[in-house]
Structure 1
């Protein structure tokens, strides 16, 4: 048994076009497309072409929120990307988590649904991966970053982003299909850690149900001691989230999500610095998602809730550290960078103490680091948190 087979990361992955927004280009596009302020009042559910894409992005910038959407026109993604300097990277929660584990010296095996020359170039040369597809495919995702304070003014639009964040726009048939390899169960029979992510890109309900049935069959081979981590995401078809949960929640040990997903489920804004509001929100969340442990990672703190909270404190701590390091130093951080971030001051502990008390001991809260950075990396922070979390679990099981 290879060391990599102990940590199986799935289920999809992608090539990303990463760019950072500038006010000048956005203002030009507002004029070109005749976009008005009233169009920015709510997230755009349907993104048909570049105009819809610009409206969607502006709405998120105004709120300082992150999100993910399907885009009906694949050429619109490339057209928009070509308006900015951008770089090609690999994305998907499982892939970014795997890249971090490799950086930390922990082998893993990636289940992929698409490969191409970019994958072969950017994945670790000695890494293990297996692909459910039969041919090379290329469906790049548009990853849009924006800084806090980005000010866009054109026509009757005058917005300033209150927070830095990232947006994801996708047209990806391979991840929509989410074909599973026939030997996934054989690999899971040897696993101590299994990451599930990626169903959020699917759009066909019958195909989704078929993939979920197949996944349950494969998961039956998991050893009883294995830890299964499910990382949530913004579903292109929002109703599919409940279908996924009902199919596999009983096989999940840890259910992870961020503050955007939390607030979407509750259909309300949550003050993340109010212990009472967060306690009420998490209590409501458990009614919807009765997992043994829920991990919530936010811009201010991360926490694990539930009867198994104590078992994952070190893992949450590792996730916070790795995400903070990526935020400050980007992709190519060093051991010295990790050590430097670890020495940074933390946010006040009083919030966590109050929240833990309100949750009657069913919570462990890790405060975030104070990160005053002029040019932060906002892409992949949740994925990096997951990789850091799993590094602690995998390190124990090695």
Structure 2
């Protein structure tokens, strides 16, 4: 019997920039950016703000997502570079991976859009009852390793590849819940909650959380609920979502950047002591729950269900590895190709040392050491999530929640 998999709540069109080093250099020269200015702006309103934000991410060697208040700035930067239109959103990319691995799924997205739906993978579907919407593309900036940009007073040099997401998307800010959502959920199925990070209005957020609480309180028996964390456009909303959603979630997932963001301090993902400290902070905010974290070197689960999730973590690693190597061309057999690469020595060291440094149950799977001249960094976390869910379904992990009737 096919497991019911419902993936929500976002979905978007992505405009993926082809980041030409000469054009980026020309842009930095045009705006006369100095090295001393390269730090995250409080607000991104102009083309110059957007450039400085991207340069700051590159300088730190990290990825992230930022809201852009001036849509003209997004369009201006997009027009400076070649770009490709694709479908995006955590749930949408995870759905693509699941479909490729033989797991049909239903997408709860803000609305139906012909361009959006034409690019969905077969086996990942938007239901006919979904209302129509017009998507404003998110700008995705993928920067490679060893890119150098000369600035006034110095230069920046990227230590490794990563991606930046820049958003001004009125439809995503609404993240509507469709009337039929509760009817889509099935006993023993999977329900993924993501996309709430795009909401910028407090009343809209409260309305969505109230509706989700009602749906989860009436959840079918054995429903496995997964919440995937993200960079919130209004950072204060993150804790509100955690308070409402995580007590009803089987697993809470995040990447290494979000782990550091939640704890409020940098986390060296090669240092077992720093990882353990960060996990303890997370689990203190997740009593009785399970956190899943995916990084460049390893993926891990800590908490109640950690020991059930080794196979799912490995499947997520191989799925993300296949995308890193082959991008949108990756297929099910690409996971075998990724699996042929050696395991990360850093990941192996973390797997060996971390359990002794944390009281909670923990399972660590080393990632693979991958080499390619043209890596794909866009959608790696989303693809990991799709592989992880496939692993949960295939291994039969039940992931019973603390109580879907618990209130906070």
The within-5 A match list for 1:1-398 is 3=2, 6-40=4-38, 42-125=39-122, 127-130=124-127, 134-190=131-187, 192-290=189-287, 292-348=289-345, 349-360=348-359, 362-396=361-395
Match of 1:330, SS state, is helix
- After superposition, the Cα gap between the structure-2 partners of 1:127 and 1:260, relative to the gap in structure 1 and judged at 3 Å, is closer
Question: Could you tell me whether the CA contact under 8 Å between 1:22 and 1:150 is conserved in 2?
Answer: no
Q: Deviations over 1:135-193 (max 9, x none)?
A: 33021000110011110013324010112100000011111011100111111245610
Displacement after TM superposition at 1:295 (Å): 0.3
Question: Could you tell me whether the CA contact under 8 Å between 1:152 and 1:160 is conserved in 2?
Answer: yes
Q: Distance in 1 between matches of 2:282 and 2:396?
A: 30
Structure 1-normalised TM-score?
0.95
Q: Distance in 1 between matches of 2:140 and 2:249?
A: 29
- Which stretch has the larger CA shift, 260-269 or 7-16? 260-269
Question: Could you tell me whether the CA contact under 8 Å between 2:229 and 2:253 is conserved in 1?
Answer: yes
Question: Could you tell me whether the CA contact under 8 Å between 2:91 and 2:192 is conserved in 1?
Answer: yes
Q: Distance in 2 between matches of 1:178 and 1:292?
A: 26
Unaligned segments of structure 1, at least 5 residues? none
Q: How many residues align?
A: 395
Q: Deviations over 1:84-142 (max 9, x none)?
A: 12111100000000011111111111001033221121013554313786333021000
Q: Distance in 2 between matches of 1:108 and 1:140?
A: 23
Structure 2-normalised TM-score?
0.92
Q: Distance in 2 between matches of 1:25 and 1:120?
A: 32
Q: Distance in 2 between matches of 1:374 and 1:145?
A: 14
Q: Distance in 2 between matches of 1:210 and 1:361?
A: 34
Q: Distance in 2 between matches of 1:316 and 1:396?
A: 11
Question: Could you tell me whether the CA contact under 8 Å between 1:115 and 1:138 is conserved in 2?
Answer: no
Aligned position for 2:401: none
Displacement after TM superposition at 1:396 (Å): 4.5
**Which consecutive segments of 4 or more residues in structure 1 shift more than 6 A?**
none
Unaligned segments of structure 2, at least 5 residues? 398-408
Q: Distance in 2 between matches of 1:203 and 1:291?
A: 30
Question: Could you tell me whether the CA contact under 8 Å between 2:282 and 2:291 is conserved in 1?
Answer: no
Question: Could you tell me whether the CA contact under 8 Å between 2:312 and 2:389 is conserved in 1?
Answer: yes
Question: Could you tell me whether the CA contact under 8 Å between 2:226 and 2:251 is conserved in 1?
Answer: yes
Displacement after TM superposition at 1:254 (Å): 0.1
Q: Distance in 1 between matches of 2:327 and 2:167?
A: 23
Aligned position for 2:402: none
- Which stretch has the larger CA shift, 199-208 or 116-125? 116-125
- RMSD (CA atoms): 1.9
Displacement after TM superposition at 1:223 (Å): 2.1
- Which stretch has the larger CA shift, 15-24 or 65-74? 15-24
Q: Distance in 2 between matches of 1:125 and 1:267?
A: 40
Match of 2:374, SS state, is coil
